[in-house]
Amino acid sequence: MYVGRFAPTPSGPLHFGSIVTAIGSYCDAKFNGGRWIIRIDDLDEERNVSGADRNILHTLECLGLYWDDQPIYQSQQKSYYEDWRDVLKKKYDIYPCSCSRKTLREHSVIKGGDWIYSGHCKTHFSKQKPIRNHRLNLRQPCTITINDIGQGPITEDLCVTSGDFVVFKADGTPSYHLASVLDDYRLGISHVVRGRDLLRSSIRQAELQRVLGQLTPSFLHLPLVTNEKGQKLSKQNKAVPINLKVPQKVIINALKFLSQNPPSELSSASSEEILNWASEHWDRSVFQSKD
Ligand SMILES: [Zn+2]
């Protein structure tokens, strides 16, 4: 059974880049006779903007992107995460880390903008200092391969590219990776269609799934929409919200961006008709030729 999901962060309105991801994951699910679920990633309270979740759902409805089941809010899954935190502490190779940002800097190597944690607290944990995070003790080497539907196998050694990553904070809040994996497990997500900016997250999540004995979903990483400076569209770099007065145009533009070649007759069709066409003619092969 195909179950897909779209997981926006309620930090602002959806921009064209997030619409492309939503339409890509929707069409991939519908083409394959699957269900499409919305998950609101609202664990990071500092990033949450009041009302943004309702605004996102309203935008999806205006575009005719109707979801199955009730949207899942991560902030409402805390007791489920706590159960898993206890299991992780007992059964898995997790260790406490007391590194402050300053110590992290001292004990990490920076590669391509990422801090590669050295595993300092595995051997030098100080009980005098407060625990800040709990990290997953990676096996060495930690080579992991995921199969992307478009790009084929992608291999990374997490010991080289990430180091022991955080699975939950001292207060028990799961990291983005852990929460995502636990939700995918509970919801039975079989396919994750997301932007290529999350490719490296997918690899970390696949490692967590391996450790926890959970199945890794199939992945399709979509090309990213960038602005004229070549930066990924994001709420941080002030991407403009989409124009909901012309939903058909937004959908057609997203399909064109995804190389789905909607026929010109569709420009006068309704959103529903366009999405029906796109769901029936969804073509994954176009993602194979792109880099
Ligand atoms: Zn540490």
Rounded distance from Cα 204 to ligand 1 centre (Å): 19
Does pLDDT of 218 surpass 70?
Answer: yes
- How far does residue 117's CA lie from ligand 1's centre (Å)? 8
What pLDDT does 12 receive?
92
Cα of 118 to ligand 1 centre, how many Å?
A: 8
Q: Does the residue 163 lie in any domain?
A: no
Phi, psi (deg, nearest 5) at residue 187 = -85, -5
pLDDT of 74 over the 90 cut: yes
The pTM for the full model equals: 0.92
Beta bridge partners of 146: 154
| Domain-located, residue 267 | yes
Ligand 1 center to residue 182 CA distance, Å?
24
CA–centroid distance, residue 1 to ligand 1 (Å): 41
Burial class (CB in 10 A: 0-12, 13-18, 19+), 197: middle
Measured in degrees and rounded to the nearest 5, phi and psi for residue 253 equal -65, -40
- Number of other residues whose CB lies within 10 A of the CB of residue 35: 18
Nearest to 5 by CA among 152, 184, 173, 179: 184
State the total domains in the chain: 1
Q: Average of pLDDT values for 190-198? A: 95
Answer whether residue 289 shows pLDDT above 60: no
Cα–Cα distance between 130 and 139 in angstroms, integer?
26
The CATH number of the domain holding residue 34 is 3.40.50.620
Percent above pLDDT 90 for the chain: 75
Q: Quick one: pLDDT at residue 113?
A: 73
34 within some domain: yes
Q: Which residues surround ligand 1, an ion (CB under 5 A)?
A: 97, 99, 120-121
Domain limits for position 235: 3-76+191-201+217-289
Which residues on adjacent β-strands are paired with residue 193?
Answer: 220
Reported confidence tier of residue 262, pLDDT bands at 50, 70, 90:
very high
pLDDT at position 124 is 82
Q: Ligand 1 centre from 93 Cα, in Å? A: 15
Q: Which two tokens stand for residue 96?
A: 């406490």
In contact, 81 and 289? CB cutoff 8 Å: no
Q: Look at residue 173 and tell me if it is in a domain.
A: no
Whole-number pLDDT of residue 59: 97
Q: Tell me, yes or no, whether 13 lies in a domain.
A: yes
Q: What is the mean predicted confidence (pLDDT) over 20-44?
A: 97
pLDDT digits (tens, 9 = 90+) for 44-72: 999 999 999 999 999 999 999 999 999 99
Q: Is residue 221 part of a domain?
A: yes
Distance 163 CA to ligand 1 centre (A): 11
User: Residue range 34-46: average pLDDT?
Assistant: 96
Higher confidence at residue 278 or residue 113?
Answer: 278
Region 281-285 average pLDDT: 96
| pLDDT tens readout for residues 221-232 | 999 988 777 777
Spatial distance between the Cα atoms of 280 and 27, rounded to a whole number of angstroms: 8
Q: Is residue 32 part of a domain?
A: yes
CA–CA gap between residue 112 and residue 268 (Å, rounded): 46
Report which of 221, 211, 251, 192 is spatially closest to residue 14, judged by C-alpha positions. Answer: 251
- Tell me the percentage of the chain whose pLDDT exceeds 70: 97
pLDDT the model gives residue 186? 96
Per-residue pLDDT, averaged over 190-208, amounts to: 95
pLDDT score, position 263: 96
User: Is the pLDDT score of 194 beyond 90?
Assistant: yes
The model's confidence at residue 128, banded by pLDDT at 50, 70 and 90, is confident
Mean pLDDT of 251-272: 95
| Distance (Å) from CA 46 to ligand 1 centroid | 23
The reply to whether 154 falls in a domain is no
Is the omega angle on the peptide bond into residue 141 within 30 degrees of 0, that is, cis?
A: yes
One-letter amino acid for residue 83 of the chain: D
Q: How much distance in Å is there from the Cα of 211 to the middle of ligand 1?
A: 21
116 Cα–ligand 1 center, Å: 12
> Which of 41, 46, 59 is closest to 184 using CA atoms?
41
Contact in structure between 19 and 63 (CB atoms under 8 Å): yes
Per-residue confidence (pLDDT) for residue 100, from 0 to 100: 86
Q: What is the rounded distance in angstroms from the CA atom of residue 57 to the CA atom of residue 8?
A: 10
Centroid of ligand 1 to alpha carbon of 128 (angstroms): 13
Please state the rounded mean pLDDT for residues 82-96: 91
Query: What's the confidence (pLDDT) of residue 235?
Result: 65
pLDDT at 212: 94
Length of the chain measured in residues = 291
Cα 129 from chain centroid?
33
